[in-house]
Structure 1
Amino acid sequence: MASRAHEQALAAMLSHLALSFDGAILGAALAYAAVRSFLNFTANSKSLAKIRKAPTLSVSDLRSLLQNHDQDHQDQEQKLVIVRGQVEAKSAVDGSGKKSSRDSNVLLSHESGDKAVILQRTQTCIYNEWKGFFGWTSDLRSIFGRSLKEQETTFLRTVPFTLVEGGQWPQSDYVIVNMDGSSHPLPLTMVYHQLQPIVASRYTFIQALFGHEYPVGVLHEEKILPLGKCISAVGICNSKDGIPEIKSCKELPYFLADMTKDEMVADLAFKAKILLWSGIVLGSLSIGVLGFAVMRNWNKWKAWRQRRSQQPIHTTSDEDVSQIDDNEDAGDVPEGQLCVICLMRRRRAAFIPCGHLACCHTCAVSVESEVSPKCPLCRQAVRNSIRIFEC
């Protein structure tokens, strides 16, 4: 319960912060999101243009391409290519290109027994959380749609591998795949997926009752990049000891993928449209919210300046009234009639439009002189105050 109260207080604080200054904070956050969307759109568009220009080559055509580039002395950026072939372990060939022991340097799946060049095991501990009575709650996690928390542990192993022409190995050429420095997603195949439930202990009910998360299961997964799988490699191609080698390009969102070039272009074009329209919508909303906040605060500032300009005219009368208040309140003030601000004089002024009789006349004038005057009791905006006389 304490955690729920803490999260509700945090949600209330965030909402008040977002709407503070008449929504200026919210407008700034929307503007930041719009800028991020446009930056992502620019990066996505550049990647789309590069992939569209990149030629799609077979493995056997890479040698002639590299020879032409070496003769023309062109830069490496123009060597961006898309190669599609089948996965084969690098240990399957020796330095002369002859076939050697294939099983000497490959990975073996513990669950399926398949041979692979990349093996990834993932163990995810799934935690359930208090959802309140009848399965619903108003805490902060429900606002973001988070009903489960996951704690994941990943183990990844790789061995050197190449791409070869499909159906022509071992007679065809091959290209070495250089995985150094690559953080791109991998086209792995799921071979094992099992959820192992955790038996509830005697303390599980107490944990759920007081809002603490508790484990409900462990998810075991195993993914591999098997031998013989047909994939595409998008990257910079160069020659290493006369053998073609392809390396990832950090500016591109793909390196190894199941998709063909046309599918990559379609995927990036769709993402570019989403990012563009997201930036336009968020930017329009931010302009509207910021414009409203600027106009609202500008009007408040003008009203404050107008009140300040009128203060010298009433200075004498205010001092006279204050002297009258001091004379009238010379005696004991009944309980509940003290000014809530100075706690010295009797309450003599009522605020408009809320009508609260909360302050003496002197404190009411000081409240009205603020940039954004508010009633000290209900915090409602104050337009004016009137003096209350007793018969």
Structure 2
Amino acid sequence: MSKHWPPCYPNLLSPSTEQFSGQLLHTPPYVPFSTYTANSKSLAKISRAPTLSVSDLRSLLQNHDEDRQDHEHNLVIVRGLVEAKSAVDWTWKKSFRPPNVLLSHDSAYAAVILQKTQTCIYNEWKGFLGWTSELRAIFGRSLKEQETTLLRTVPFILVEGAQWPRSDYVIVNMDGSIHPLPLSTVYHQFQPVPASRYTFIQALFGHEYPVGVLHEEKILPLGKCISAVGICNFKKGIPEIKSCKDLPYFLADTTKDQMVADLAFKVKIQLWSGIVLGSLSIGVLGFAVMRNWNKWKAWRQRHSHLPSHATLDAVVSQIDEDEAGDVPDGQLCVICLTRRRRSAFIPCGHLACCHICAISVESEVSPICPICRRAVQNSIRVFEC
């Protein structure tokens, strides 16, 4: 009979590392530190930025030399009324031309920014087998989120009050800006799609089918009072404001106080969320470390009572001599299937393994009974009379 048995010295590193990695993967996620830092810096910058009117920018321009204007970068908050740039570029030749503004086809408003959005709305029903069409979500963009956006802009400025002519104004430079815009919705209509003969079949098998198209039109109308947060450059005697990539605002309906309050609330929420989730994560990691440490100490204690290789070889030789005959199928070890069942596990009491396999089970980090899967403390050898 061959003398092959499971090793008595298990690899402690792999089970412990696997369990510890599992605890790491299931810990609560940290609040991104970069987001908290960015919002904190934005809050500090906006709090320090002065709130100026358009006329104040003109007075600030007069305090700088012409040579330093291209290198002067100031973060300011300017609040004024939206006006098309063509209103200040008036000449006798251009007086007979229509103003350079955008006109909404669905409304009678004049604007400097026009955004049209068409969203295809899909409906999804579970078929008679309870299936849903998840293939599109796996291999491509979901049809529920398909939309088409058309954005048109014309050069515009911010002016102060309704005085004429426009002597004081600031040019708004939209180049490179990806910030949200303070647009107003002027058109919102849902156009249903007529059902075809295949709609019922698609719904029966759980496929998505279009139910309608949502048309939206948003504009930035003339005369709307907004705030511009950005870097102001003075070029050729005319102030120009650009967006700052580090700030979450560029053009907004809110004032400086409202921006500061909003950012302060976000920073506070992120701070306390990070503290709570960080403490919870440290607690989970500490519990995982203590659990694996206790398992390792229990394994060391069990391992100290296990026989050595020489003793084990002698025991195997003696067992092979005692069990030289045939063993009935009902008395074979459930692990090696070659030797007779001689060891019973405690506390479940199942007589399931031979003495060699019982020693192998006890040497594991988390020993369990191969029959009932309960935790095993130790085993005792059973002798027949």
Q: In structure 2, do the counterparts of structure 1 residues 115 and 304 end up closer, same or farther at CA, with 3 Å as the change threshold?
A: same
Q: In structure 2, do the counterparts of structure 1 residues 358 and 258 end up closer, same or farther at CA, with 3 Å as the change threshold?
A: farther
The aligned counterpart of 2:287 is 292
Q: Matches of 1:205 and 1:256 in 2, distance apart?
A: 47
Structure 2 length-normalised TM = 0.79
Aligned to 2:43, which of 48, 53, 59?
48
Gaps of 5+ in 1: 1-17, 140-147
Aligned to 2:362, which of 344, 365, 368?
368
Q: Matches of 1:118 and 1:24 in 2, distance apart?
A: 48
- Structure 2 counterparts to residues 259-338 of structure 1, below 5 A: 259-312=254-307, 316=311, 319-320=314-315, 323-324=318-319, 327-328=322-323, 330-334=325-329, 338=332
**152-161 or 222-231, which deviates more:** 152-161
Q: In structure 2, do the counterparts of structure 1 residues 334 and 326 end up closer, same or farther at CA, with 3 Å as the change threshold?
A: farther
The aligned counterpart of 1:10 is none
The aligned counterpart of 1:383 is 377
Q: Matches of 1:131 and 1:355 in 2, distance apart?
A: 50
Q: Is the 8 A contact 2:72 2:234 kept in 1?
A: no
Percent identity over the alignment? 77
Q: Is the 8 A contact 1:41 1:275 kept in 2?
A: yes
Q: Matches of 1:377 and 1:76 in 2, distance apart?
A: 80
Q: In structure 2, do the counterparts of structure 1 residues 215 and 387 end up closer, same or farther at CA, with 3 Å as the change threshold?
A: farther
Deviation at 1:237, TM superposition (A): 0.1
The aligned counterpart of 1:241 is 236
State the AA in 1 paired with 2:366.
S
C-alpha deviations, 1:356-386, integer Å up to 9, x for none?
5554332232232223334445655443334
Structure 1 length-normalised TM = 0.77
C-alpha deviations, 1:71-130, integer Å up to 9, x for none?
896997861000011111122222889995784422222221322111112222233345
Q: Matches of 1:96 and 1:326 in 2, distance apart?
A: 116
Q: Is the 8 A contact 1:59 1:83 kept in 2?
A: yes
Q: Is the 8 A contact 2:113 2:153 kept in 1?
A: yes
**Matched position secondary structure for 1:311:** coil
State the AA in 2 paired with 1:48.
L
Give the structure with the higher percent helix. 1
Q: In structure 2, do the counterparts of structure 1 residues 197 and 331 end up closer, same or farther at CA, with 3 Å as the change threshold?
A: farther
Q: Is the 8 A contact 1:22 1:297 kept in 2?
A: no
Report the aligned-residue RMSD.
Answer: 3.7
Q: Matches of 1:76 and 1:381 in 2, distance apart?
A: 74
Q: In structure 2, do the counterparts of structure 1 residues 304 and 177 end up closer, same or farther at CA, with 3 Å as the change threshold?
A: same
C-alpha deviations, 1:267-309, integer Å up to 9, x for none?
1111111111111111111111111011111111222222333
State the AA in 1 paired with 2:30.
A
- Structure 2 counterparts to residues 79-158 of structure 1, below 5 A: 79-94=74-89, 103-130=98-125, 149-158=144-153
State the AA in 1 paired with 2:34.
L
**Matched position secondary structure for 1:341:** coil
**Matched position secondary structure for 2:180:** coil
Instruction: Tell me, yes or no, if structure 1 residue 25 matches structure 2 residue 30.
Output: no
Q: In structure 2, do the counterparts of structure 1 residues 357 and 258 end up closer, same or farther at CA, with 3 Å as the change threshold?
A: farther
The aligned counterpart of 2:338 is 344
Q: In structure 2, do the counterparts of structure 1 residues 170 and 71 end up closer, same or farther at CA, with 3 Å as the change threshold?
A: closer
Gaps of 5+ in 2: 1-17, 135-142
Q: Matches of 2:225 and 2:361 in 1, distance apart?
A: 75
Q: Matches of 2:214 and 2:48 in 1, distance apart?
A: 42
